A and B are shown apart, each in its own frame.
Chain A
């Protein structure tokens, strides 16, 4: 912003608009018609690929038939939403999704905050850089590759993890073929992949703290732990709150890929989430309207969570997304 000393930018929003009006909006638009032409493909992209499917979500209230289309299909109101909550499968999968979401929120969300604080305490610059390089790396692997590596590493017969557990006298665990472990695998693989990468924004916030604050606290006799509680954490709070709000908006959106690549006949019972269910029942079994209803339900819950979270965050910490 500082690079732009233009008066129009510094004016309050209302003033700028008035200036435009006096010039005549139509004339202004005609003068800069090239700008509108350049922006047209991008606008069309959003209208076609984002808003048409959004409108197409009305099939959740229809018995959509691919041959009859949107106009010819029968309207059924909220029937699909009713079936959803009476469906045993749906309730089990919703429970999985909520549980996995909770584990993720409680364990995976705070992990990068802690790691960033620990990295920030390091005074060995070279060591810090090496650790950062190594922990950022897994984020750039695809979920297919991570699942493939996990099959090798978690294998009960030949995997190195079970060999390591064997040293402590623990019998091999079939991590990927047992309903008991699948949720831990799903949340754990996310922690492995994204904790390091997640520290970047927190480290940027930590770098912005004025060192004089720590020096003053030192003089007042506050030890490192106290300094972390009273200076570091409050400085991170805005970043934490913004990322927290974004995270809870995606509470039911754990992610299709990262779950699908780990699922097999032995762990689907506890591992399946809404996204994989929508794919299986929707695309593979062609229950188009029903799974669109499930998808809408998911989006609406996400929206409500973001708005509620935003409201409470504004009240308590003053931080908000909008």
Chain B
């Protein structure tokens, strides 16, 4: 890759670096603006003075968010759904993908087709809604976990990974008297740690950010995940004065912007914290998935 640099190419290179720098800033500066607003006073925000650093630095927006029990409740719901949901996802995907990846499984083509069809043709909203209603899952966290238990795409990623596991190793375990479930838990899963990590992350981020299914299936505030709570906060301009403390009432009526920005930061913090770990895995997960097609 040591191609010589012509004059024209040098100019291109300089412009390329400039362009990509600007692009990076366009992606990054909005974050900085939101962070700055969350630490600024309402007066500074409403007068439009806040750009990329806090003006009249204050923690009152965060104090407000921390003292609002309903936000904490939603945070806890989101944590539960992300943890339980990801566990269900991985177990359900692996228990279908492993047997179907084995040569000994007679109907494997039929199962693969069964999954493939759902990728190409999916049912409209209302029949799904009626199903959730008839299963009495409405207003339970399971309505956010079960309907998406296996993603067809992730099934295929895991399926193609399991197919590459050497059959003779599994056969010799069988000869040693290992049951299929034992083989799965003590051999297959440890061998597929990288793919489990990648798909686990895809599933977890999906659960944390999910808004649509909660909007469809949950109308009781006690089971609202954080994203729904956040949206409700944006819809009303005067933030509910839930905490009741007089120090906040003025803030909530004059400028709820800072409060909203602080909630955004708190809702995004878990993702930002795991991002370095995440980045290592999603590239792998995505390119793994591409190999199959």
Contact = CB atoms under 8 A, between A and B. Distances in A.
Interface string B73-98: 00000000000000000001101111
Interface in B10-32: 12-13, 16-17, 19-21, 23-24, 26-31
Interface stretch (A39-47, A83-91, A96-104, A177-185): A39-47
A143 B9 CA distance: 39
B-side interface mostly? helix
A46 B96 CA distance: 10
Contacts of A48: 131
B212 interface: yes
A34 B181 CA distance: 8
A39 B95 contact: yes
Contacts of A261: 211, 231
A-side interface mostly? helix
A27 B218 CA distance: 48
Given A50-B123, A54-B123, A288-B126, A196 B150 contact: no
A2 to B, nearest CB: 9
A141 B286 contact: no
Contacts of B290: 201, 204, 239
Contact of A142 (B8, B131, B211, B282): B211
Interface in B164-200: 164-168, 179-181, 184
Contacts of B264: 145, 148-149
Contact of B27 (A66, A138, A142, A257): A138
A160 B111 contact: no
A224 B205 CA distance: 40
A278 B168 CA distance: 52
B147 A34 contact: no
A28 B212 CA distance: 44
Interface size class of B (residues with CB under 8 A): 35 or more
Interface size class of A (residues with CB under 8 A): 35 or more
A169 interface: no
A81 interface: no
A48 B131 CA distance: 9
Contacts of B271: 140-141
A29 interface: yes
Contacts of B181: 34, 38
B3 A218 contact: yes
B16 A118 contact: yes
B236 interface: no
A229 interface: no
A170 interface: no
Contact of A152 (B105, B230, B257): B257
Interface of A: 1, 3-4, 6, 8-9, 16, 20, 25, 28-29, 31-32, 34-36, 38-39, 41-43, 45-57, 59-60, 66, 115, 118-119, 121-124, 127, 130-131, 133-138, 140-145, 147-149, 151-153, 157-160, 163, 192, 196, 200-201, 204, 211, 214-215, 218, 223-224, 239, 242, 249, 256-257, 260-261, 278-279, 282-283, 288-289, 291-292, 294-296, 298-299, 302-303, 306, 321
13 contacts: A8-B103, A48-B131, A122-B17, A131-B20, A138-B27, A145-B230, A148-B234, A148-B260, A158-B48, A163-B48, A211-B1, A295-B124, A303-B121
Nearest first, the 9 closest Cβ-Cβ pairs linking A and B are A295-B124, A42-B96, A56-B127, A142-B209, A53-B123, A34-B180, A158-B48, A53-B127, A35-B99
